[in-house]
């Protein structure tokens, strides 16, 4: 009978930490890009010079604001995942207490629910 693991080992946590750190850097870079784009569009007269009318400027600002908001949320989730790694509780489903599969964590490194727990919520 095999014993069920209750947490990932230090080597596995180090692997996930590297993955999350890389994703976090990319997300932070993208957030800076979106914020720069937003500040460039803050002056609508400048945008008009670029050939955009007020409606297009508003739609673009709304789109960029949404993208920046999503990136900020992702950054928060990834940062929380790094804290869970430091506390050695990363990869444990918050509903079942069982390990979340490595495949799921590689796809969604900030996941806090296993696929089974996520499906139950639907």
Q: What value does the mean pLDDT of the chain take?
A: 88
In-domain check, residue 96: no
In-domain check, residue 119: no
Q: How confident is the model at residue 24 (pLDDT cuts 50, 70, 90)?
A: very high
Share of the chain above pLDDT 90, in %: 70
**What pLDDT score does 49 carry?**
46
Dist CA 46 CA 33 (whole Å): 18
In-domain check, residue 121: no
In-domain check, residue 122: no
**What pLDDT score does 1 carry?**
45
Dist CA 22 CA 100 (whole Å): 20
In-domain check, residue 94: no
Residue 77's domain spans which residues? 10-88
In-domain check, residue 63: yes
Dist CA 80 CA 66 (whole Å): 21
In-domain check, residue 103: no
Number of domains in the chain: 1
In-domain check, residue 41: yes
What would the pLDDT profile of 69-121 be if each residue is shown by its tens digit?
Answer: 999 999 999 999 999 999 999 999 999 999 999 999 999 999 999 999 999 88
CA atoms 82, 84, 89, 91: torsion sign: negative
**What pLDDT score does 28 carry?**
98
Spatial CA neighbour of 6 closest among 96, 69, 67, 76: 96
**What pLDDT score does 73 carry?**
98
- Partners of 92 in the β-ladder: 99
User: How many Cα atoms sit within 13 Å of 16 on the Cβ side?
Assistant: 32
């Amino acid at each position: 009978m095999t014993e069920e693991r209750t947490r990932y080992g230090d080597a596995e946590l180090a692997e996930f930490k590297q993955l999350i750190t890389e994703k976090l850097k990319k997300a932070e870079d993208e957030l800076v890009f979106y914020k720069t784009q937003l500040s460039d569009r803050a002056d609508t007269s400048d945008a008009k010079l670029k050939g955009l009318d007020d409606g297009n400027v508003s739609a673009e600002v709304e789109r960029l604001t949404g993208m920046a908001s999503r990136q900020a949320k992702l950054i928060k989730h990834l940062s929380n995942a790094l804290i869970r790694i430091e506390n050695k509780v990363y990869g444990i489903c918050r509903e079942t207490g069982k390990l979340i599969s490595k495949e799921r964590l590689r796809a969604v490194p900030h996941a806090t629910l296993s696929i089974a727990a996520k499906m139950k919520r639907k």
